[in-house]
């Protein structure tokens, strides 16, 4: 896959605080890239550098192979975490203003806005003042303004905060559609469920360092613990003893009312699922067998606390 | 650059369309015109009611001495005080002047009875006339001809001339210069404060509404700041211009409809009434008025108007940038106090000291304060009507330009960091750190 945005050895220091430490990322074209990390990890600092709001102390950023310059502003759409609108301004007037700041001509901006307002069924808000709208309604307008100029790179910083579930779904659909249409999307969030649902790639950042990067499947694969959950119907009487004699760790053993057992076992890294099944077959009728892959949430917590311990012991 | 234009346009239009702007734009001139018109109306109203004054003079010193005027008619009566008092009450006379028989042989006391408040001018006319009469009588008694005293009294017309480099001399008249200088310096002071704090509030609004990060992803923070400052400057200039035009318009309309003949007369009456209280001024009046006109003609209005506009805009630009920086550093208007003080101190100092500078517009203090960019917009305007050498003016103006370039640069550094900082109590040390980011 071609790289659309590449962050090369970027460092950003604030007075005596290192926000980003020699960080490199490759965001593939036409993908949804999850930028994960706890609060204060350096995500927003990095996003602001990509948006040219601040400049990096060291390193470079390439957009589609070109060094980032002011001309790229119109090719990037950004929905910040801290976002809002002028409260006293009318919705349509304001959307038009923000679109023109992105470099869109007035009449084209108006046409496109009307299209999106109709699509989200908010045409009659055009002449309302922003302060009359609910927070969710304002978020819809912010979303429209972010994508209106059809940017090739979209950056969403916690896009779902403050949305009700219906609008979250609406937004997810639109984000997926944008990727279909060819956009590259950077998605920064704490919401791990939406990461698994939407992201193709992720990078995990902590204390300004990248601690993990790859596709969601690769990462889950790399962090597998070889733990399996299975259910055995009509087990042999000696099942518990037999299981203990296998070269596996028995984590959980539950006997149900119908005498079937449900177990969780961890095998060593070398043996595959098939080998384990072979060992289990003599013990009864194997009715369920699946590998328990760690969730992104588990990986996130494990990785962040591991690096925090490391940096703590360094200090 | 195109984007600064867009920002400027938004800043300008949203403010100009506000109800408060429209109300102030029309209310201001009405108040200002009223300030000019009301005294004229009041002065002419005074003439309408002619006062009938009954005089009971037990000394017989003042019989026939009071002269009837447009607004005063004197009646010498020889009835009892009580009966005249009742005539005052039932409206035959407006007031009663009673001069009782003095205990010594010179009358020093008199009483006025009226059922209404009597005009100050009437009271002072009566007391002046009486004291003149007593004076004359006393002089005669000592064998001195009052005419000698009268001719000995001399009013000095002090006309000051100012020598220019080219040898020409100009008449100058301090009072006119003082008024011109102080009024323009006060105007600049208010303009800077009113519109400077609008800049500050605008920045705080963008910060608290959290729109700023959306905007700075499209434009550079510096462009946003410049667009805002220039947009609000245009709002201020628009308002000022409308005030001047509307005030002139209202006053013009008033003079048109109010029967023009009455106005100069009313103004003269108002002036004459003041002079009645000061006999020395008699005869000097005409010359003084002429002199004011001559001085007004001598004042170089081109220089004054041009430098007013320059310091008006230059001073605003210098301070607006600082106000923008303050707005960016805080989360709400309540937190601005600690930063407002050092910024507004030079301005306030300039205004306060202006009142002393008018006494010595060429002194060292006046010179230095009119050169330093932080005080020059307010102080230099006080000096200009008195005439300032061109080299000093050019020095002061260049330094003001350098000054606002510096404050804009300085403010830009604080601004770009400040607008993206939330929930942090900012200290001066913190601001210093932002300078180095």
For A255-276, the three-class secondary structure string (H helix, E strand, C coil) is: ECCCCCEEEEEEECCCCCHHHH
C-alpha separations of A106 from A93, A113, A116, B180, B208 in Å? 11, 10, 15, 47, 28
Looking at the complex, does the CB of residue B69 fall below 8 Å from at least one CB of chain A? no
Query: What is the tens place of the pLDDT at every residue in A169-188?
Result: 888 999 999 999 999 999 99
CB contact under 8 A, B209 and A84: yes
A229 versus B115: which is more confidently predicted? A229
DSSP-assigned letters across all residues of B333-402: GGGGHHHHHHHHHHHHHHHHHHHHHTT-TTSHHHHHHHHSTTTHHHHHHHHGGG---HHHHHHHHHHHHH
Which of A101, A151, A158 best tests the B interface by mutation, with the highest count of B CBs <10 A? A101
Q: How many Å lie between the alpha carbon of B31 and the closest alpha carbon of chain A?
A: 29
* Alpha-carbon gap, residue B347 to B328, rounded angstroms: 21
pLDDT at A239: 81
* Least confident piece of the model among A299-303, B238-242, B315-319: A299-303
* Alpha-carbon gap, residue B65 to B74, rounded angstroms: 10
Q: How many Å lie between the alpha carbon of B191 and the closest alpha carbon of chain A?
A: 24
Mean pLDDT of B185-204: 92
Give B-chain residues touching A48 at CB under 8 angstroms.
420
Instruction: Say if residues A220 and A294 touch (Cβ distance below 8 Å).
Output: yes
A79 versus B48: which is more confidently predicted? A79
The dihedrals phi and psi of A32, each to the nearest 5 degrees, come to -105, 120
To 10 degrees, what angle do helices B174-208 and B221-257 make?
A: 130
Which of B14, B18, B218 best tests the A interface by mutation, with the highest count of A CBs <10 A? B218
Query: What is the tens place of the pLDDT at every residue in B359-388?
Result: 888 888 889 999 999 999 999 988 888 778
Of A14, A83, A97, the CB nearest to B10: A97
Instruction: Say if residues B317 and B309 touch (Cβ distance below 8 Å).
Output: no
* Alpha-carbon gap, residue B357 to B360, rounded angstroms: 5
* Least confident piece of the model among A9-13, B62-66, B265-269, B290-294: B265-269
CB contact under 8 A, B209 and A142: no
- Residue A95's pLDDT band (boundaries 50, 70, 90)? very high
Which tokens belong to B248? 């002139």
Query: What is the tens place of the pLDDT at every residue in A60-80?
Result: 999 988 998 888 888 999 999
Mean pLDDT of B139-159: 81
* Alpha-carbon gap, residue B318 to B374, rounded angstroms: 8
* Alpha-carbon gap, residue B43 to A144, rounded angstroms: 65
B23 versus B300: which is more confidently predicted? B23
A30 versus B387: which is more confidently predicted? A30
For A75-99, the three-class secondary structure string (H helix, E strand, C coil) is: HEEEECCCCCCCCCCEHHHHHHHHH
Q: Name the average pLDDT for chain A.
A: 87
Whether the per-residue pLDDT at B172 is higher than 50: the answer is: yes
Query: What is the tens place of the pLDDT at every residue in B12-39?
Result: 999 999 898 999 888 888 888 888 788 7
* B219: closest chain A residue by CA: A101
Q: Is the ipTM of this complex over 0.85?
A: no
B168 versus A15: which is more confidently predicted? A15
CA atoms within 13 A on the CB side of B408: 21
Residues 6+ apart with CB under 8 A from B363: B357
Mean pLDDT of B396-409: 93
pLDDT at B283: 47
Of B3, B6, B213, the CB nearest to A82: B213
Of A14, A82, A100, the CB nearest to B210: A82
CB contact under 8 A, A80 and B10: no
* Alpha-carbon gap, residue B327 to B232, rounded angstroms: 15
Residues 6+ apart with CB under 8 A from B109: B99, B100, B102
C-alpha separations of B127 from B56, B77, B132, B281 in Å? 15, 19, 9, 17
* Alpha-carbon gap, residue B416 to B435, rounded angstroms: 10
Q: How many Å lie between the alpha carbon of B14 and the closest alpha carbon of chain A?
A: 8
Give B-chain residues touching A101 at CB under 8 angstroms.
3, 6-7, 215, 218-219
* A88: closest chain B residue by CA: B14
CB contact under 8 A, A84 and B211: yes
B296 versus A203: which is more confidently predicted? A203
Query: What is the tens place of the pLDDT at every residue in B306-315?
Result: 899 999 999 9
Which of B2, B6, B213, B220 best tests the A interface by mutation, with the highest count of A CBs <10 A? B213
* Alpha-carbon gap, residue B139 to B128, rounded angstroms: 16
pLDDT at B198: 92
pLDDT at A274: 84
Which helix H or strand E contains B55, and what residues bound it? strand B51-57
Whether the per-residue pLDDT at B242 is higher than 70: the answer is: yes
pLDDT at A153: 94
Which tokens belong to B171? 């008449």
Mean pLDDT of B203-230: 91
Burial of B204 (0-12, 13-18, 19+ CB in 10 A): buried
DSSP-assigned letters across all residues of B219-239: S-HHHHHHHHHHHHHHHHHHH
Beta strands in chain A (DSSP E): 3-14, 17-28, 32-36, 58-63, 66-67, 76-79, 153-157, 184-189, 201-206, 209-215, 227-233, 248-255, 261-267, 285-291
Report angle CA B300, B158, B355 to the nearest 5 degrees. 60
* Alpha-carbon gap, residue A262 to B171, rounded angstroms: 111
Distance of CA A252 to the CA centre of its chain: 32
- Residue B160's pLDDT band (boundaries 50, 70, 90)? low
CB contact under 8 A, B214 and A83: yes
Q: Class for domain B50-151, per CATH?
A: alpha beta
Q: Name the average pLDDT for chain B.
A: 82
* Alpha-carbon gap, residue A211 to A309, rounded angstroms: 13
* Least confident piece of the model among A68-77, A196-205, B55-64, B171-180: B171-180
Give A-chain residues touching B416 at CB under 8 angstroms.
54
Give A-chain residues touching B14 at CB under 8 angstroms.
86, 88-89
pLDDT at B167: 53
Query: What is the tens place of the pLDDT at every residue in B246-297?
Result: 888 888 888 777 654 554 544 444 444 444 444 444 445 566 666 666 666 6
Give B-chain residues touching A70 at CB under 8 angstroms.
220
Which tokens belong to B16? 């100009």
Instruction: Say if residues B97 and B53 touch (Cβ distance below 8 Å).
Output: yes
Instruction: Say if residues B290 and B156 touch (Cβ distance below 8 Å).
Output: no
| Residue % of chain A over a pLDDT of 70 | 98
Mean pLDDT of B107-124: 82
* pTM assigned to the model: 0.74
- Residue B232's pLDDT band (boundaries 50, 70, 90)? very high
pLDDT at A82: 83
Of B14, B214, B220, the CB nearest to A98: B214
Mean pLDDT of A106-119: 93
Which tokens belong to B355? 């009142």
Per-domain residue ranges of chain B: 2-39+166-436, 50-151
Three-state DSSP at A26 gives strand
C-alpha separations of A70 from A28, A51, A256 in Å? 22, 9, 66
Residues 6+ apart with CB under 8 A from B126: B66, B97, B110, B112
Instruction: Say if residues B263 and B251 touch (Cβ distance below 8 Å).
Output: no
Beta-strand relationship, B111-114 and B95-99: antiparallel
Whether the per-residue pLDDT at B47 is higher than 70: the answer is: no
pLDDT at A98: 93
- State chain A's maximal CA–CA distance in angstroms: 79
* Alpha-carbon gap, residue B67 to B73, rounded angstroms: 8
Beta strands in B61-165 (DSSP E): 72-76, 95-99, 111-114, 160-163
pLDDT at B400: 94
- Looking at the DSSP assignment, which residues form a beta bridge with residue B317? none
Query: What is the tens place of the pLDDT at every residue in A122-144?
Result: 889 899 999 898 888 888 899 99
């Amino acid at each position: 896959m071609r790289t659309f945005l590449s962050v090369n050895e970027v460092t950003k220091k604030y007075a005596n605080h290192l926000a980003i430490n020699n960080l490199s990322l490759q965001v593939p074209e036409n993908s949804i890239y999850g930028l994960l990390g706890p609060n204060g990890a350096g995500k927003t600092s990095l996003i602001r550098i990509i948006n040219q709001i601040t400049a990096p102390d060291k390193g470079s950023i390439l957009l589609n192979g070109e060094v980032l310059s002011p001309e790229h502003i119109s090719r990037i759409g950004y929905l910040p975490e801290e976002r809002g609108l002028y409260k006293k301004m009318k919705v349509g007037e304001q959307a038009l203003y923000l679109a023109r700041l992105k470099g869109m001509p007035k009449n084209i901006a108006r046409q496109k806005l009307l299209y999106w307002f109709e699509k989200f069924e908010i045409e009659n808000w055009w002449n309302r003042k922003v302060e009359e709208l609910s927070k969710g309604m304002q978020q819809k307008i912010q979303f429209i303004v972010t994508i209106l100029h059809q940017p090739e790179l979209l950056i969403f910083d916690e896009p779902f905060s403050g949305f009700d579930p219906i609008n979250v779904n609406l937004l997810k659909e639109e984000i997926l559609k944008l990727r279909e249409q060819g956009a590259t999307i950077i998605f920064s969030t704490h919401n791990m469920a939406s990461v698994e649902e939407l992201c193709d790639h992720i990078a995990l950042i902590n204390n300004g360092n990248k601690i993990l990067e790859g596709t969601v499947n690769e990462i889950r694969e790399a962090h597998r613990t070889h733990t399996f959950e299975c259910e055995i119907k009509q087990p042999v009487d000696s099942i518990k003893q037999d299981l203990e004699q296998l070269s596996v760790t028995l984590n959980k053993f539950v006997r149900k009312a119908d005498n079937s057992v449900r177990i969780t076992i961890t095998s060593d890294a070398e043996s595959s699922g098939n080998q384990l099944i072979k060992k289990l077959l003599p013990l009864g009728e194997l009715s369920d067998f699946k590998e328990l892959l760690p969730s992104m949430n588990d990986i996130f917590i494990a990785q962040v606390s591991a690096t925090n311990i490391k940096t703590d012991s360094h200090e | 650059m195109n984007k600064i234009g867009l920002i400027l346009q938004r800043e300008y239009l949203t403010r100009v369309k506000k109800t408060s702007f429209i109300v102030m734009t029309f209310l201001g001139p009405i108040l200002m015109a009223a300030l000019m018109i009301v005294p004229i109306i009041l002065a002419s109203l005074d003439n309408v009611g002619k006062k009938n004054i009954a005089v009971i003079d037990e000394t017989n010193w003042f019989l026939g001495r009071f002269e009837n005027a447009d607004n005063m008619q004197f009646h010498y009566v020889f009835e009892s005080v009580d009966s005249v008092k009742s005539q005052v009450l039932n409206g035959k006379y407006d007031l009663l002047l009673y001069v009782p028989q003095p205990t010594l042989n010179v009358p020093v006391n008199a009483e006025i009875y009226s059922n209404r408040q009597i005009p100050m001018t009437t009271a002072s006319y009566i007391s002046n006339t009486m004291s003149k009469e007593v004076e004359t009588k006393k002089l005669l008694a000592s064998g001195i001809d009052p005419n000698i005293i009268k001719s000995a009294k001399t009013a000095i017309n002090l006309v000051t001339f100012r020598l220019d480099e080219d040898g020409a001399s100009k008449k100058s008249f301090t009072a006119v210069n003082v008024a011109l200088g102080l009024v323009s310096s006060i105007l600049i002071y208010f303009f800077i404060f009113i519109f400077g704090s609008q800049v500050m509030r605008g920045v705080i609004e963008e910060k608290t509404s959290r729109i700023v990060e959306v905007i700075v992803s499209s434009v550079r923070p510096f462009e946003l700041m410049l667009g805002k400052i220039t947009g609000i400057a245009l709002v201020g200039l628009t308002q000022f211009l409308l005030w001047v035009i509307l005030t002139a318009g209202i006053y013009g309309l008033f003079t048109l409809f109010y029967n023009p003949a009455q106005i100069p007369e009313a103004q003269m009456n108002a002036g004459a009434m003041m002079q009645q209280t000061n006999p020395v001024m008699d005869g000097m009046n005409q010359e003084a008025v002429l002199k004011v006109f001559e001085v007004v003609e001598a004042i170089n209005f081109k220089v004054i108007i041009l430098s007013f506009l320059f310091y008006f805009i230059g001073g605003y630009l210098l301070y607006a940038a600082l106000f923008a920086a303050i707005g960016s550093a805080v989360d709400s208007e309540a937190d601005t106090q600690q930063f407002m003080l050092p910024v507004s101190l030079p301005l306030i100092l300039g205004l306060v000291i202006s009142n002393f500078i008018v006494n010595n517009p060429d002194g060292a203090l006046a010179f230095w304060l009119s050169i330093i960019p932080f005080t020059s917009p307010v102080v230099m305007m006080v000096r200009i009507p008195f005439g300032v050498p061109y080299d000093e003016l050019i020095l002061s103006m260049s330094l003001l330009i350098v000054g606002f370039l510096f404050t804009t640069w300085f403010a830009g550094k604080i601004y770009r960091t400040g607008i993206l900082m939330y929930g942090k109590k900012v200290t001066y040390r913190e601001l210093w750190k932002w300078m180095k980011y």
